[in-house]
Structure 1
């Protein structure tokens, strides 16, 4: 039942991606390389807790990066103001 709720600020419950698909980064990542928000990435490998990607645009074009799951949190509007936390890859499929 909870997966049907769509609080603002949270990505969709289910992320469907395949190797080779193009995705857009939803949050800036601060790791050894600085990939900015809304960068386009191509999926090279998918594991349970990480994605191996290559950057397709910007100054870091062609750079490989590993993305891990990130906790997203938001409050849902109701009487008790329930808070939601989803641990998900910070990407969405590029159309």
Structure 2
């Protein structure tokens, strides 16, 4: 339940930050949203890159969207892997 709520909140945060690119918020909120989007992309990008660099070719072929899910949901995706095991 906790993981589902976290993934839902991350999805809403992504929507909030990406909506700023389409229809910019007023001036101070615009800057904060841009900084937040940059922080999200950098941190989640690093997590996805680290995962991708540690996976073998066979693992990449078996689960093609694992890296994308980690990029979108971050730590909550890795927590869901722990629950599945």
The normalised TM-score by structure 1 is 0.23
More helix by share: 2
Structure number with the higher strand fraction is 1
Structure with larger RCO (C-alpha < 8 A, sep 6+):
2
